[in-house]
Amino acid sequence: MKVYIDGEFFDEANAKVSVFDHGLLYGDGVFEGIRMYHNRIFKLREHIERLFWSAKAILLDIPMTPEKLMAATVETCRRNNLREGYIRLLVTRGKGTLGLDPRRCPKASVIIIAATIQLYPEKYYAEGLTIVTVPTTRMLANSVNPAIKSLNYLNNILARIEANNAGVEEAIMLNAEGFVAECTGDNIFIVQKGRLYTPPLSAGALYGITRNTVLDCARDLGIQASEPNMTRYDLYIADEMFLTGTAAEIVPVAKVDGRVIGSGKPGPLTARLIAEFQERTKTDGEVIFD
């Protein structure tokens, strides 16, 4: 494996960062998870745009233009001879001191890893996930805003630990007001009487690239979609439910907090959206090998 670090490529064994990097010391940085399909990097421009938004929000100066960062991402896939897989793109605050002050970090560090990933076993796409609501609350917008895709994912990790303890693959996180925000690594959708619903960004949901793609798919398929505040009650009475994320893609949910969703199997509208999403992965994105 070849890993890109600040303009150079290193073998996996030699791909290292300083122990004084503030990304390691404090989770001070931002990242993107990106997928490759059919020799294309899916929604690369949208991911790079979101990366720069996250960086701007924390006053992190990315030392590359979006165009050069896109080119470096494509080249990393080429160096690893990958046409399908997963990319982790990170920008850390860079090497600094043991103090918190980001001004002590003279230059940010850019890291690109291209590999393979499968978040869930195939059986969950055929049968649906069983998930639970957990006590860990989604972060407030005036603390570490959930819209920032930062390297500090401890809020999500604590919720994931609770999912692990419950013996399930994912967990629903509520915001401080009790409304559904998102899962630990995925956005959440429900279907009720042929309409599609997903929590609003203001509830604590991440501005998900796959989330946006599903909303686009729904519009093109003539499926009405909206983003209201939702409670667990709305989830329990849903006809269908699924989660979306770059790694997960679209994965159905069969049971929430012991309540069977719909028929207990992936529903027909979910299947239509999966098919439409898969078609888009064939044509959308930056070409890796000409």
CA torsion 43→48→50→53, rounded to 10°? -160
At how many degrees (to 10) do helices 44-57 and 66-79 cross? 130
Please tell me which residue in 16, 56, 149, 193 is annotated as part of the active site. Answer: 149
Rounded to 5°, the CA angle 168-195-212 comes to 70
Q: Annotated catalytic, 149?
A: yes
Distance (Å, whole) CA 91 – CA 113:
12
d(CA 15, CA 83): 22
Question: What is the DSSP pairing of strand 29-37 with strand 40-41?
Answer: antiparallel
CB 174 within 8 A of CB 230: no
How far apart CA 243 and CA 37 sit, in angstroms, is: 19
Query: Which residue matches tokens 């994931």?
Result: 160
Nearest to 114 by CA among 51, 17, 24, 34: 34
Contacts of 128 (CB under 8 A, 6+ apart): 251, 252, 253, 254, 255, 261, 264, 265, 266
Angle at 163 between CA 162 and CA 166, to 5 degrees: 90
Catalytic positions are 149
